[in-house]
Structure 1
């Protein structure tokens, strides 16, 4: 398994705008950083849970249908390239103001199970970077924990940005999106090396 490619993909996918990060940013802007720690912790725990479920699902698919490995790798690579293009072409963070937000540990946790970005991210990470390399149960737990920790730092960073740097980020959003898109494109190619 290419650890650097997995981490690059995880950072690029985790730190780009999505439901978790936008809620953390907006919540910290409204409530302050300290009141967002429960929500951010819930996001991390939920990410661990979703990733672990993705690992177990992939493991079952690989054992029952051996040919699924290449198909899932191709789908994962295609999704990463599509996401890189979408991030690069993004012109704004989207509008989340119409959504009723709850900033609790429980809300952060359960959001992960309905967050399409995270669901695709977890399945892609596991099927592209872990499953092709004969993973053990310990590896699957380790990858799940790693992605959970990255989610903690990602949402925590966005909460800090929301409290401190929101105007600056909005002015330099294009450069940020370009860097994230390049990291995703690298990850898509590196998964096949």
Structure 2
């Protein structure tokens, strides 16, 4: 690769644009503050970097050779994201009682990392990295550097969504406002989840 700039720009766009992870971090920080969303930020970034590393290390070949595997993975991811959208749609406004009783799903390090395993956006991003930015090489060091750069760029990008969510949490004051916010976010999450299945890239 003659320059790292194109890859850096790709990683920034892939990380900052709306996706399931971004929206769930936004929802988490709007309820509990941006500090409580940081574990999800780091968990998602690390998992995405690991997927780039694994795909670049050889997993791309069998997945590309057997489209059914990719289809099953995509449908499993969409099904889980649809369930998360439904729970977000039904979630009550953030109160001490609802947080303490567990009515609101927690989106932490493990949940964010696990989401990347079934997140169609993350896998499409990883295949793009391998297909466009490796020039067909399987050099472990080269792929590891790409994964490290991607993970490093993802952290501040996802943190921006956490800060936005924190601002939303200070803006909304009534139950009606929170209801519309939760439902709007749920529909957005549902839309980005099904986008990759209904409109393949």
With structure 2 as the length reference, what TM-score do the two structures score?
Answer: 0.59
Name which one, 1 or 2, has greater alpha-carbon Rg: 2
Give the Å deviation of 1:151. Answer: 1.7
Q: Does 1:155 align with 2:158?
A: yes
Q: Does 1:137 align with 2:140?
A: yes
Tell me the alpha carbon deviations over residues 101-150 of structure 1, each in whole angstroms, 9 at most, x when there is no partner.
431111011111010001101111121111x1645211111111111112
CA distance in structure 1 between the aligned counterparts of 2:54 and 2:33, rounded to whole angstroms? 32
Contact 2:30 2:168 in 1 (8 A): no
CA distance in structure 2 between the aligned counterparts of 1:24 and 1:112, rounded to whole angstroms? 13
With structure 1 as the length reference, what TM-score do the two structures score?
Answer: 0.62
Partner of 1:34: 35
Contact 2:57 2:138 in 1 (8 A): no
Partner of 1:128: 132
Q: Which stretches in structure 1 are left out of the alignment for 5+ residues?
A: 69-94, 168-193
Cα RMSD, aligned residues only:
2.7
CA distance in structure 1 between the aligned counterparts of 2:155 and 2:112, rounded to whole angstroms? 11
CA distance in structure 2 between the aligned counterparts of 1:22 and 1:127, rounded to whole angstroms? 27
Partner of 2:112: 108
Secondary structure, in 3 states, of the residue corresponding to 2:107? Answer: coil
Partner of 2:89: 98
CA distance in structure 1 between the aligned counterparts of 2:133 and 2:106, rounded to whole angstroms? 33
Partner of 1:50: 51
Which region of structure 1 is more displaced relative to structure 2, 156-165 or 39-48? 156-165
Q: Which stretches in structure 2 are left out of the alignment for 5+ residues?
A: 65-84, 91-103, 172-201
How many residue pairs end up in the alignment? 135
CA distance in structure 2 between the aligned counterparts of 1:12 and 1:24, rounded to whole angstroms? 17
Give the Å deviation of 1:164. Answer: 2.3
Partner of 1:117: 121
CA distance in structure 2 between the aligned counterparts of 1:162 and 1:37, rounded to whole angstroms? 12
